[in-house]
Amino acid sequence: MPEVKVLTRHFGAPGVTGLEGYRRVGGYRGLEKALRVGPEAVAAEVKASGLRGRGGAAFPTATKWSFLPQGVFPRYLCVNADESEPGCFKDRVLLEEMPHQLIEGAMIAAFALQVSHAFIYIRGEYRRQRELLERAVREAYSAHLCGPSVLGGEWGCELIVHGGAGAYICGEETALLDSLEGRRGQPRLKPPFPAVKGLYGQPTVVNNVETLSNLPYIVVEGGAAYAALGTEGSPGSRLFCVSGHVQSPGTFEVAMGKTTFRELIELAGGVRPGHHFKAMQPGGGSMQILGPQHLDLALDFKAVSDAGSSLGAGALVVMDETTCLVDVSMRLVDFYRHESCGKCVPCREGTYFESELMHRLEAGLATEAELGTLPDVCRAMDGRCFCPLGDTATWFVMSAYRMFPEEFHSHCGAGACPVRSALGAAA
């Protein structure tokens, strides 16, 4: 069975969205234990767990924490709940099903790092999720699980829910910090990294919702137990969001490194009946396409990276034979064009150009010569943008063009989308 349950093991338990119900399933025992064993011991467990960030970059969490300079206070923790990567909805599920698991994880991290303020930056579109979270935070305050004296001890930490207002780029950690400080959400130049100079110019850790939601388990059961769920290179479990042309889209928690794409797709009911698999996009809208030849790859950081893509933020979009990859590319580059913050030229102009071209191509109006400019434009963007948004705006479209060149070429001068025309003729 590829499914394992760490994050999701208490999903649906009676009242588990509230404090009482969460306590009934052992909630906040991790925070209690953390306060008992001390910050160093907590950090050691996280190191032993091998936990890597679930926000997209997969950076080892314990290593990130260790970059905070000794003895510099105040320090801050920012919980990244901006979830806006196309295809991703796992943080939303974690917020809806177990807000207290996230709060406990955030407070464990806050204690390990000895921060005085923790902020949860939640995207503006998650209005209902924000209301649920705020209710849970109020409960946590009443029970002294956060606030000036946590569980009656000397250490205290404020926990503040901060709502965004519609900007994908604010998920990027330095843009998030600018937004939290009350500015336009534009990325900062790194270094200095947030660990050294982050929120309000102070040492800051930014961690994703799912990353932190793992901490109660890691502290209670031990880092080694968590690591053993997965493999050496890909420890632990992970919540994947499967969407697109599958029978039962949803989130599925599976062992890392031991589960294949095929098994994950089967958990989602497989490709819809009467159709067959064409391609998939792992990781979210930013990542490169994979084909049928990759279905038996394990959900393993290295295996997927060797195949030219990435597990990114834990999404998997499945496409069957009815899918036009020019249409999919068009939707993605439209998204990046809309979300480019406008700060740097290659991203601002490049996404505009990509989008205009893909619209003409999808309509069957572009010429071969126009299509021929796509690789040049993408080369001028990838690696030359101020932040990864502009780089990643080229990855899917270029990888799809390389894997399915004839599909792109067949659109040139066709007067309409040939994939759609063929479907219409077959129907």
Binding footprint of ligand FMN on the chain (CB under 6 A) = 53-57, 59, 64, 80, 82-85, 169, 171-173, 206-208, 211, 387-389
Which of ligand FMN, other proteins, none has residue 127 at its interface (CB below 5 to 8 Å by kind)? other proteins
Which of ligand FMN, other proteins, none has residue 47 at its interface (CB below 5 to 8 Å by kind)? none
Q: How many whole angstroms separate alpha carbon 303 and alpha carbon 297?
A: 7
For residue 240, give Cα distances in angstroms to 277, 324, 330, 408.
Answer: 18, 24, 24, 30
**Binding track over 58-77 against other proteins, x by CB under 8 A:** ----------------x---
Which of ligand FMN, other proteins, none has residue 54 at its interface (CB below 5 to 8 Å by kind)? ligand FMN
Locate 425 and state its tokens. 């003729």
Does residue number 317 form part of the binding site for other proteins (CB under 8 A)?
Answer: yes
Which of other proteins, ligand FMN, none has residue 325 at its interface (CB below 5 to 8 Å by kind)? none
Q: By CB under 8 A, what part of segment 87-126 binds other proteins?
A: 87-89, 91-92, 117, 123-126
Which of other proteins, ligand FMN, none has residue 231 at its interface (CB below 5 to 8 Å by kind)? none
Q: By CB under 8 A, what part of segment 345-404 binds other proteins?
A: none
Number of residues lying near other proteins (CB under 8 A): 55
Does residue number 179 form part of the binding site for other proteins (CB under 8 A)?
Answer: yes
Strands annotated E in 36-152: 76-81, 117-122
Which of other proteins, ligand FMN, none has residue 294 at its interface (CB below 5 to 8 Å by kind)? none
| b (16+ CB within 10 A) / e for 336-358 | bbebbbebbebbbbbbebbbebb
Identify the residue among 56, 86, 203, 314 touching other proteins (CB under 8 A).
Answer: 86
Q: Between 30 and 364, whose beta carbon lies closer to other proteins? A: 364
- Report in angstroms how near the CB of residue 102 gets to other proteins at its nearest: 15
Q: Between 30 and 194, whose beta carbon lies closer to ligand FMN? A: 194
Beta partners for residue 290, in sequence order: 280
**HSE-up (13 A, CA, CB side) for residue 371:** 22
The answer to whether the beta carbons of residues 375 and 346 sit under 8 Å apart is no
Sequence-ordered list of residues with C-beta below 8 angstroms from that of 138, at least 6 positions apart, any chain: none
Identify the residue among 56, 99, 164, 282 touching other proteins (CB under 8 A).
Answer: 164
Give the DSSP H/E element, type plus range, for residue 206: strand 204-208
The answer to whether the beta carbons of residues 171 and 88 sit under 8 Å apart is no
Q: How many whole angstroms separate alpha carbon 81 and alpha carbon 99?
A: 12
| b (16+ CB within 10 A) / e for 210-232 | bbbbbbbbbbbbebebbbbbbbe
Q: How many whole angstroms separate alpha carbon 327 and alpha carbon 358?
A: 8
- Report in angstroms how near the CB of residue 83 gets to other proteins at its nearest: 6
Binding site for other proteins (CB under 8 A): 74, 83-89, 91-92, 117, 123-128, 160, 162-168, 179-185, 200, 241-245, 249-251, 281, 285, 315, 317, 319, 323, 327-328, 331-332, 334-335, 338-339
